[in-house]
Amino acid sequence: MADTVVTKWIGDLSFDSLVSGHHVTLDSDSQYGGHDAGPRPKALLLTALTGCSGMDIVSILNKMKVEDYSLMMEATGIQTEEHPKHYHTITVSFKFAGKNLPEDKIVKAVKLTNEKYCGVSEMLRQSAKIIIKVFINDSEVAI
């Protein structure tokens, strides 16, 4: 299976990218000549990572019959100082909230997405250290 995106320059440092039938505007901030009309391309890698992981986790927990929870993910990428600047370390925090959540199932789902199913995680792991953290009701749990 192949994915294709079509990205068109629309002026200054702005681009329109057609992704899976959806338009995404990419831009830079004004200090670099952009207009802050959209996200930066590198940050979208973090969105891809959290989206991929999140979809896996929700699917896995659904199969495990885990219900009535919320999930928020936060990813922070630390860049190298030299060019080409890239993320050398990415920390992903998976934050679950709800009553009587099964810690063992949540940890298993997070491990499965990051070690087996999420292709974005696998690709990024080739160039960056990925640190995973899991929180249930604001308390960090061991993974």
pLDDT tens digits for range 67-112? 999 999 999 999 999 999 999 999 999 999 999 999 999 999 999 9
Cα(63)–Cα(103) distance, rounded to whole angstroms?
15
Cα(89)–Cα(91) distance, rounded to whole angstroms?
7
pLDDT at 22: 97
Residue 43, pLDDT > 90, answer yes
CB 89, CB 78: distance < 8 Å: yes
Helix 103-112 / helix 41-63 crossing angle, nearest 10 deg? 130
125-134 average pLDDT score: 97
pLDDT at 131: 98
57-74 average pLDDT score: 98
Q: How confident is the model at residue 1 (pLDDT cuts 50, 70, 90)?
A: confident
Percent of the chain topping pLDDT 90: 99
Q: How confident is the model at residue 8 (pLDDT cuts 50, 70, 90)?
A: very high
pLDDT at 40: 96
Q: In the predicted model, what is the mean pLDDT of the chain?
A: 97
Show Cβ contacts of residue 91 under 8 Å, excluding neighbours closer than 6 positions.
Answer: 75, 76, 78, 130, 131, 133
